[in-house]
Amino acid sequence: MRKQIIEYTSSLDALIALAKQLNTYENQYQMDSADFFTQYSQGQTSDDEDFVEWAGSYQHYLALHQELEDKLKDVA
């Protein structure tokens, strides 16, 4: 499967896209991303391609969320 690289014009656009992607995984596997990531980090899931991508997307989501939160604190 060939992966596609998508560039976003802002961190907020990327965060929204990641949230949509996470929602797709959550619906498909009937599990919250935070719960999944806890299990994944503890080795309680397989290393299927979907799970590896889900974990990476969730880590990216958390990093972007923190970045935007920090920027908002600087404005206040």
Lowest mean pLDDT, pick from 5-9, 17-21, 31-35, 63-67: 5-9
Question: Mean pLDDT over all residues of the chain?
Answer: 90
Half-sphere exposure of 61 (CA within 13 A, CB side): 17
- For residue 64, what pLDDT is reported? 94
- For residue 3, what pLDDT is reported? 63
Helix (H) or strand (E) holding 33: helix 33-41
Q: Please give the average per-residue pLDDT across 34-48, as a whole number.
A: 96
